[in-house]
Structure formats: C-alpha cells, structure tokens
Structure 1
Amino acid sequence: MKFAHGFVLFLSLLAQTGSEFLKKNEHSRALAVELSSKPLPAKPTFGPEAYVLGVIAPGSFIMGLAAVVLLRYYERRYPSNDLEVVDREPENLDEDVYGAGVATLVRDSYSLIEGKGSLFLRISRLSSSFLLMLFVVFLQIFIILQMQKLVASRAVTEIRQIYGRYEFVMYGAEMSHIYLTENGFPRGADPTYFDPANFSRLTESEQASACRIPFSQPQLLLPILFIWTLTVVADLRRCGDLFVRLILATPTISSMRDAVVEGEGECEVVVGLTGALKAVLMASCIVPRYLINVYLLWLGCRWLAATPSFGDLLLNAVALEFILLLKDTLYAGVVPDRNKRATQNTLIQPWQKREPANYRVFLSSFLLILVTCSWVLYYVYRFQAVLPDYKWDVAKVCASYVKSVTSGKAR
C-alpha cells in the first residue's frame, strides 16, 4: 500500500511537472510564432565589442596621456616655491609577474651588455621571465574569450528571453502594442498599453525570473558595478603608473650599458632605457595589460547586468576578480625566490623627482571615484546592450513579490 501510494504521488508530481513544462513551451512557441511575422531591424555593424576596443580603450588612453603630459609641462613651467616640496627617491616595482618581467628584462639586458655572468644563464632567465609575462597575457585573453562565449553570451540570451516575454505579456500580448529590438525581442511601443494586471498572466517561474532581473533593483546593481569598476580602475592606475615611470619619466638612452646604477647589495636603480627596450615593454606588458583591463571591465559589467539572480550577482562579482589576480597568483607560485628579490631590489624613477604640495598631489586620486561613478551610470543608463531599450517597468510591478521574498513569505 505504501509503495502504491508513493507511486501515485510520483505520477501526480510527474504529471504536474510535465503540464508546467508543456505550458511554458506553449508560451514560448506562441511568442516565437507571433514575433516571427514581424520583420527584424538591421543589426548595427559596429557592435559594443568593437566600440570598447576601437573607441573607449584608445580614447581613454589618449585622454589620460594628454592629462599627464599637460600636468608635467605645467609643473615644470611654473615650479612651486612651497616649503613642502619633497625630493622623491626611486621606487620599487609592483611585486607581480609584470614587475618581475620588467626587472629581469632591464637587469639581464644590462648584464649581457656588461658581460657579467654566464651568457646562457642570463638568456635563460630573461627568456623565462619574458615568456611568463606573455603567458599571463594570453591566459587572460583566453579566459576572457571563453567567458564571453560560454558564460556571458548565455546569460545575455536568457535574460533577453525573460524580459522579452515579460514585455509581450504586460503590453497585452498584442503585436500592435510592441516593437522589436535589433535582437528580435519585444518592447512596449506605448506606455498606455502597459497593464500591471497582466502580471498574473505570467507563470510563477516567469514572474520570479522577471523580478530577479538586475535592472529591476538598481539599488543593488549600481553598487556592485561600482565595486567591480573600482577594482579594474585600481589595476588600470597601476598600469598607467608603470607607463609614466618607465616610458615618460625614465630618460631614453642609446645603450643599456648606462641603464643601471648599482647600489648596495642586490639593489639596482634604473636611470635610463633604450628606445628599443621601451618599445618591447610597451608591446609585451603595458599595452596588452591596458586593453585586457578595459575589455574585462566592459565584459564584467555585461555579465553582471545579465545575471538573473541576486545571489549569483554577488558571487559573480567576486569570481571576476580572479582574472585580474592571475599575475599575482603566478608570481607567488611560479617565480623563483631570487627573481622575487631582484624585483624587490629593482628601483625605477618616480612620477616626478620634486613633488610639490598642491591640489593634484593631495586630491587628484579622489577623481577616480568620480570616473568610476560616471562609467557605471553611463553603462547602466546609456551604453549597456544587455537589454536594449529597457523600459524600467519591472521594479514597480515586482515590488510586492520582492517584499514577500525578503520577508520570507514567498511561496
């Protein structure tokens, strides 16, 4: 009897699940059939990826470079007589794969010119550090491409289907009440057609999915995007600082024989770099790192904005950081101790040798908060292509649902 009773319960549960599945499929098929009769608008040839790499990345680099050059020119032309002027000493490299690569390239190039040590040993160390730096670059690029293909694209497709279904039903499920985006998903044509009562026409799973769209809760989405953006901006700042100190502040010399001044113990101060070595550092370290950070900033924002779960939104924000930390992880786990000491004891030129007490020195870094906020607001309200033509019409309808979830009264 118990077995028969359990079997009956199992069959009823299976029938209920099957009916819900068929109902959901019927909704999807009906929507697909109705929408297929409406012609799709032409997709733009210049997508967001091309815009990020072709406009945002070089544009931000040029603006940053122009700001640095103008500041350096202004402070040289109008020197400060302030008594608080500080004479800055050469500074350490960052202790990561990029810092180790720079230290090895400079030290071993200098040693090879001077004829110090074993030729093959120097070449082996130089090659291994350089290849490790390239390995980090290509590993980050590979992970980013796979993440975009297998993770972010799937999330974007899912959230577009969720919001497209929501818009179609909330605007009366009438083709005359909607239009199609460039991706083929419906949007309400006129706010007068929007009826909150149509929310009950969605299934429970569709209601839950629609109310978990990150754009429905900007008070959660905006701070998370701010934290993620600030994380990337911090790494961009370190990359920019390396560019200024190695490429702009370090004099260009004709031979690596004059590149290093040896100090006490293992300490060596970089006082000049040849144009060829600066070009190598730009091509292998600074430019790839900058482009990776800018692209990862956009892709991370896109993935987070497409995450249809508030809990996963927080977890994904944490997971994204590991891509940025690859340079630190490999440095800690792979780089030999002697190379680490060489990195710690390689000093490069500061941003400027005489640092006055002015507004730039004390306050300019705080502008990064403004830059971060500007990017987040621009992305959410203008640039995002996760949900084109988002109507901001979910939060009010889902207010009671979200309240029931947060109060523990959800079914």
Structure 2
Amino acid sequence: LPEVDGHFGFLDRGHTRLTREIADPAPPTPAAGPQTLPPKPWMGAQEYVLFVIAPGSAMVAFAFVIFLRHFEARQTERSEETGEGGEAGRWNEDLEVVDREPEGLDEDVYGAGIAALVRDSYSLVDGKGDLALRLSRLGSSFLLMFFVVFLQIFVIKQMQALVAARAVTEIRQIYGRFEFVMYGADVTHNYLTPNGFPRGLDKQFFDASNFARLTGDEKDLACNIPFSQMQILVPILFIWTLTIVADLRRCGDLFVRLILATPTITSMKDAVVEGDGECEIIVGLTKEVKAMLLSTCMIPRWVIDVYLLWLGCRWLCATPNFGDLLLNSVALEFIVLLKDTLFIGVVPDRNKRATQNTLIQPWQKREPANYRVFLSAFVLVLVSFSWVFYYIYRFQVRCIDTMSGPSYERVAVLQQLVLYTETKKCPSSRAT
C-alpha cells in the first residue's frame, strides 16, 4: 500500500476497490515528571542476579552434586556388602565398571593458574628449583588470571552502561509509544511503569484500529521488537544460554574434582606424584590451596558467567533489528572466550605444557554404567530451555518493567496487525 502523510490505512474488503481510511495522527506520548512515577523496587535486576540467582544456582548445583555422590557411594557399599554371589553382586557385574584415570586441566588461563599454583607450591615446599624463578612464574600466572577477571568485568560494565542500557531505553520507548497509541492515546487508559513508560491499564481499552495512527517508522520499530518473533528469539537465547551453561559446567567440574574429589592434606609436599616426563598428578591439596583456588578461579568465574548470561539476554531482547540480533549473539561470546584467547596468545609454551601435563582426579575412580553417567549431561538442555522461558515470561517483566501493577502477569498486546500488505504481519508477543 502507498503511504499517505506517513500513515497507513486498513484494507476495506466491503468494496470492490481498495479504499483507505486515514487515521488521525496520535498525539505525542506524554512525558512523565519524576513525581508521577511509582517507586522502583528495592532490588533491581542486577542485584537480583548477583545476590539471588548467582549464589542460588551455585547452591542448587552443589546440593545436586552432593546428592549424586552420596547416592552412588551407597550403591557401591551395598554391592560390596552383598558380595559377588548375591543379587547386588550380579547387578554390579552388569554395570561395566570403568577405572577412571586422572585427566588434564582445561587449557585456558584458569588451568594455567591452577597448574602453576600446585606445581610451584609443591616445588617450593620440597626445596626444588630456584625460589625467585618459581615465585615469578606463580605470580605471572595469577596476574594473568586476575587480568582476565578484571578485563571481563570491565567489558561487562562498559557494555551494560554504553550498549545494553541504551538499547533497553530505546526499546522501552518504542513499546511505550506502541501501547500508548493502541490504548487510545489517552493518559487515563495507561499507567506508568517505575521507569516512566506507559502501559495499558485494561484490555477493554485496546483498539486494533489505532495501529493506523502510528507512523510507518513506528510500525516498523514495533514489529521489530524481538518478542514479536519468538521463533527466532527463543533459539538465539537458547544458544547463548547453552554457551554460558557449558562454561558453568567446566567451572563446576573443576570444583568437584579439585575441592571435593581431591583429598585434603596437611602439606603440599605430598600434593603431587611425579609421572613420566613432565607429567605430574595432583593427589592432594591443603585447605589453604583449596581456599585460594575457590576464591580466585571458581567463584569469580561462576559469578561472571551468571551475570553475563543475564546481561546478554537483556541486550539481545532489547535489539530492535533481527539482523543485529544475530550479530550481537555472536559478539557476546568473545567475552567468554577471553580466557582461551589469552592462553593461546600470551602464556609461554613451557607453561602450556605444564598445564597439559598436570592431571587432576576424576569425579570418581571407579565409574559404573548408570543413569547419571549416560544421561545426566542432557539435563543441561532442560536447564537452558527453562532459563530462556523463565527470562521471557517472568524475569524480564518482573525485574525490568515493574514488580507490581497490571503488567505483572499480562501478555503483551502486539496483535496480528496488517503493516504494508496482507502478507506482512506483526505476530503476537510479550512486552519488554
């Protein structure tokens, strides 16, 4: 359909010829003064992520690991008590028990830091090597690890302040304008969120014919809101979530193997068993070393991953262009991969070989064939999908829009509206 005065009419199928009904332009969205805004919730989105979701997810994962280890230990005890001739003994023979060997560290900056800490602590306590040389390698490895953490935090904060915040504000303005017009462009039909953007009070005020009162650009922007195309938004959010979940799994795996599976000893002199060539096997760690690994390698990494998961979802959902949505999802991954990039480009070859040849204890030394071994990793797919739908249908409304009011449970009103032709539509979606 041609455009007249920047507005579009509706197709009138009651006539043999196409006719146009030019709607009156909608008045500008009223600007709200600070005194008219409802109070914001005391806990915003980022506080909720840092102080609720991050520690909560860690505690749930820890409890799940403890439950699995306890359950499998009980099963092993029962099979040993029954003996080879009993029913449990026959059950144990059918489990295809595999003797697990120690495995290598991840080849990234965190793995290099762990290898340097354990190897150099062992050498210093055992009186091997030059003191200054060992301390210099240990210090440089930890400085590089701290640099990665600092760089990730810095990039995340800058992205949040300069990129994501602007995108969220723009998409709130786009959707606020859409709702104000669709609900009659009447201040009595709308209320203001704590961020100062209008939302419709009741669906009885919604009138689809008001769509013609939007300009062509406003229609384009409204229908480019990612929530209007769930068939592309959900897969992209799922892939991004799976990227973060994979890194969280690696972090959790380090925690289980180094903190839980590795015995606690009194001296680092007994921490390592030397193997062939450059190979060294970690057989024990002191409480102090475990505490250092937990505070420098695991907790910061977990918190950064969880925060980046939320910020990435926030930015992607606030991208009012589907081409940019795909590009942004790819660009986000480089923050996660900083630890791998710096390991490849900065860490000396000797330290790389030390990382490759430092072996840690497996989850369990004797691994039977059971449901956990074969199927437990697939639970992460369900976890990723659960987060995506929780974010879309609960979290982004609860923490970004408002904590109370009519929009808390409502579905957005982007209805099936004709844009330029009968074949170009704006599907229903959920509000930002």
Same structural fold, with TM-score higher than 0.5 when normalized by the shorter chain: yes
Aligned-residue CA RMSD (Å): 2.1
The question of whether the paired residues in 2 share the 8 Å contact of 1:224 and 1:314 is answered with yes
Deviation at 1:32, TM superposition (A): 3.0
The code of the aligned residue for 1:295 comes to Y
Alignment-derived partner of residue 397 in structure 1: 417
The code of the aligned residue for 2:319 comes to T
Q: Does 1:174 align with 2:186?
A: yes
Quick one: which of 200, 212, 223 aligns to 1:200?
212
CA distance 1:402–1:282, shift in 2 (3 Å): farther
Deviation at 1:36, TM superposition (A): 4.2
The code of the aligned residue for 1:111 comes to S
The question of whether the paired residues in 1 share the 8 Å contact of 2:26 and 2:185 is answered with no
Deviation at 1:152, TM superposition (A): 0.4
Higher helix share: 1
Alignment-derived partner of residue 76 in structure 1: 73
Deviation at 1:397, TM superposition (A): 2.2
SS of equivalent to 1:31: coil
Alignment-derived partner of residue 159 in structure 2: 147
CA distance in 2, matches of 1:397, 1:121: 70
The code of the aligned residue for 1:51 comes to Y
The code of the aligned residue for 1:331 comes to F
Q: Does 1:251 align with 2:248?
A: no
SS of equivalent to 1:32: coil
Deviation at 1:404, TM superposition (A): 3.8
Alignment-derived partner of residue 158 in structure 1: 170
CA distance in 2, matches of 1:302, 1:85: 45
CA distance in 1, matches of 2:178, 2:30: 14
The question of whether the paired residues in 2 share the 8 Å contact of 1:255 and 1:274 is answered with yes
Alignment-derived partner of residue 141 in structure 2: 129
Alignment-derived partner of residue 44 in structure 1: 41
The question of whether the paired residues in 1 share the 8 Å contact of 2:115 and 2:355 is answered with yes
SS of equivalent to 1:150: helix
Q: Does 1:138 align with 2:150?
A: yes
Quick one: which of 101, 116, 122 aligns to 1:104?
116
Output one character per residue of 1:93-139: Cα deviation in whole Å (capped at 9) or x when no partner.
00000001100110011011111111111110010001101110111
Show structure 1 runs of 5+ residues with no match.
1-15, 18-26, 407-411
Q: Give the TM-score normalised by structure 2.
A: 0.85
CA distance 1:50–1:42, shift in 2 (3 Å): same
Quick one: which of 22, 25, 30 aligns to 1:32?
30
CA distance 1:353–1:395, shift in 2 (3 Å): farther
Quick one: which of 45, 53, 62 aligns to 1:65?
62
Output one character per residue of 1:199-220: Cα deviation in whole Å (capped at 9) or x when no partner.
1111111111111000111111
Alignment-derived partner of residue 225 in structure 1: 237
Q: Give the TM-score normalised by structure 1.
A: 0.89
Output one character per residue of 1:185-205: Cα deviation in whole Å (capped at 9) or x when no partner.
111111121111111111111
Quick one: which of 362, 372, 375 aligns to 1:350?
362
The question of whether the paired residues in 1 share the 8 Å contact of 2:272 and 2:281 is answered with yes
Show structure 2 runs of 5+ residues with no match.
7-24, 80-91, 427-432
SS of equivalent to 1:187: strand
The code of the aligned residue for 1:174 comes to D
CA distance in 2, matches of 1:220, 1:233: 20
SS of equivalent to 2:50: helix
CA distance in 2, matches of 1:402, 1:349: 63
Q: Does 1:326 align with 2:338?
A: yes
The question of whether the paired residues in 2 share the 8 Å contact of 1:211 and 1:395 is answered with no
CA distance 1:70–1:398, shift in 2 (3 Å): farther
Q: Percent identity?
A: 67
Quick one: which of 287, 294, 300 aligns to 1:288?
300
SS of equivalent to 1:78: helix
The code of the aligned residue for 1:334 comes to V
SS of equivalent to 2:273: strand
Quick one: which of 223, 227, 234 aligns to 1:215?
227
CA distance 1:200–1:224, shift in 2 (3 Å): same
307-316 or 76-85, larger mean C-alpha shift:
76-85
SS of equivalent to 2:303: helix
Alignment-derived partner of residue 21 in structure 1: none
Deviation at 1:400, TM superposition (A): 6.1
Quick one: which of 43, 51, 55 aligns to 2:52?
55
Quick one: which of 352, 359, 366 aligns to 2:378?
366
SS of equivalent to 1:210: helix
220-229 or 391-400, larger mean C-alpha shift:
391-400
The code of the aligned residue for 1:66 comes to A
Output one character per residue of 1:61-96: Cα deviation in whole Å (capped at 9) or x when no partner.
111111111111111122151340111000000000
Alignment-derived partner of residue 106 in structure 2: 94
Aligned residues: 381
